[in-house]
Amino acid sequence: MSAPLSPGSTIGIIGGGQLGRMLAMAGARLGYRIVVLEPQADCPAAQVANRQIIAAYDDPAALDELARACDVVTYEFENVPVVAAQHLAKSVPVYPPARALEVSQDRLAEKTFLNGIGIQTAAFRPVENDQDLAAGLAAFGGSGILKTCRMGYDGKGQLVFRNMTTGGFDGTCASLGNVPLILESFVAFEREMSVIAARGTNGSISVYDPAENVHRDGILHTSTVPAAISEQTAAAARQAAHKILSALDYVGVIGIEFFVLADGSLLANEMAPRVHNSGHWTEAACVISQFEQHMRAVAGLPLGDANRHSDCLMQNLIGDDVDQVPALLSKPDVAVHLYGKAEARPGRKMGHFTRIAGRN
Ligand code: AMP
């Protein structure tokens, strides 16, 4: 294990959205300087960072410049090109490791990895053509979700099939762009939840309490702690987080999403090798937020206490929801966090608020 980064050192962040912004703010609090690599000028993260390199994420000259400017590099989104992370890693530590990107960028690789370390997922099959789709749906009793293996998020690139007993799938794969696809069996879950966990450079692991998540139109709407789950279900989620972090020799924060079945058992849905929207509640309800936890991990500092001192609801402010901010600001126990985005387009995450309750 290398020595912790001393204050005044520089941490690079690939990606300039709201997650990068919140990481930059947490890093600044620990005394670090922040450089953001992001093609969009004046992005949310650059507004609160020391410097922005305005270039594509895979621009070799920009990556070299980032490596020269930084003592360690991290990222705020999972579609950072693996080759970019590998290129950078030749000259500067990059956390989380490139292997975590490889696994989480492809739903087939992800589910195969999870099953391989004993974590259950929905049944799945690769789909390359309409015949594969028909055969897969027949095997799954006529219902399933067809997803693009790569670049899908917030429910984009997905088709739901319910009780399809006959054919009629001609052209489906073409409509999704003839890219590699995965068919998952349809999970009749009781609720959705996630855990945010972290692993330090010394291998220590810290896991936040599971949050219960509600999605609207495929986008996270609320995360609530505590989740309405049994202690056994919470323990199973923690155990899964430990397995994943250890298997990947991970450093940093990870978000892992699960389906909770009626009997309390879990199926992992997906994991994101970064801080996660369903962990924003940690900022209000824990002494150390997921953002500080991530910056501590990548800087080689000791991990912070993940205990929760309050119950909490986090709600995203999407598009026009941001108009609620003046009213929210007058409510007790509510904190508003805005991302510095100029224009409130439909579906765009503009900010979030947390409301703490029932201090523990
Ligand atoms: P994803 O992009 O995989 O996170 O999926 C977005 C949302 O679609 C999830 O949060 C679930 O609400 C739903 N979903 C995804 N996969 C399945 C599945 N296999 N069965 C039932 N619902 C699913």
- Given a cut of 80, whether residue 157 has pLDDT beyond it is no
- What phi and psi values does residue 137 have, to the nearest 5 degrees? -65, -40
One-letter identity of residue 218: G
* Token pair for 82: 């693996």
State percent of the chain over pLDDT 90. Answer: 91
Class of domain 123-184: alpha beta
When pLDDT is averaged across residues 87-107 and rounded to a whole number, the result is 96
When pLDDT is averaged across residues 38-64 and rounded to a whole number, the result is 97
Strands (E), the chain: 10-14, 33-37, 51-53, 72-75, 124-127, 144-148, 158-161, 181-185, 191-199, 205-207, 211-216, 219-225, 252-260, 266-272, 311-318, 334-338, 349-357
Pocket test for ligand 1, best of 79, 110, 145, 186 (most atoms within 8 A of CB): 145
- Given a cut of 80, whether residue 50 has pLDDT beyond it is yes
Which pLDDT score is estimated for 113?
Answer: 98
pTM of the model: 0.96
- Given a cut of 60, whether residue 162 has pLDDT beyond it is yes
Q: Taking the alpha carbons of 187, 209, 224, 195 in that order, is the dihedral positive or negative?
A: negative
End-to-end CA distance of the chain: 36
One-letter identity of residue 185: S
Which pLDDT score is estimated for 168?
Answer: 78
Alpha carbons 259 and 283: distance in angstroms, whole number: 24
Higher per-residue pLDDT: 342 or 223: 223
- Given a cut of 90, whether residue 93 has pLDDT beyond it is yes
Which pLDDT score is estimated for 163?
Answer: 84
- Given a cut of 90, whether residue 2 has pLDDT beyond it is no
> Considering the domain 10-94, what is its CATH architecture?
3-Layer(aba) Sandwich (3.40)
Which pLDDT score is estimated for 36?
Answer: 98
- Given a cut of 60, whether residue 1 has pLDDT beyond it is no
Alpha carbons 275 and 266: distance in angstroms, whole number: 21
> Structural domain boundaries of the chain?
10-94, 123-184, 189-359
Which pLDDT score is estimated for 277?
Answer: 98
- Yes or no: say if 253 and 198 are a contact pair by the CB < 8 Å rule: yes
270 touches ligand 1 (CB under 6 Å): yes
Alpha carbons 349 and 345: distance in angstroms, whole number: 9
253 touches ligand 1 (CB under 6 Å): no
- Yes or no: say if 353 and 312 are a contact pair by the CB < 8 Å rule: no
Q: Which pLDDT band holds residue 212 (cuts at 50, 70, 90)? A: very high
Alpha carbons 62 and 54: distance in angstroms, whole number: 8
- Given a cut of 80, whether residue 153 has pLDDT beyond it is no
When pLDDT is averaged across residues 278-293 and rounded to a whole number, the result is 98
When pLDDT is averaged across residues 134-159 and rounded to a whole number, the result is 87
192 touches ligand 1 (CB under 6 Å): yes
78 touches ligand 1 (CB under 6 Å): no
Q: Which pLDDT band holds residue 358 (cuts at 50, 70, 90)? A: confident
Q: What is the CATH number of domain 189-359?
A: 3.30.470.20
The strand pairing partners of 352, in sequence order, are 316, 337
Q: Which pLDDT band holds residue 155 (cuts at 50, 70, 90)? A: low
Q: Which pLDDT band holds residue 170 (cuts at 50, 70, 90)? A: confident
Cα of 71 vs centre of ligand 1, distance in Å, is: 38
Q: Which atom of ligand 1 is nearest to the CA of 187?
A: 20
Q: Which pLDDT band holds residue 148 (cuts at 50, 70, 90)? A: very high
- Given a cut of 70, whether residue 154 has pLDDT beyond it is no
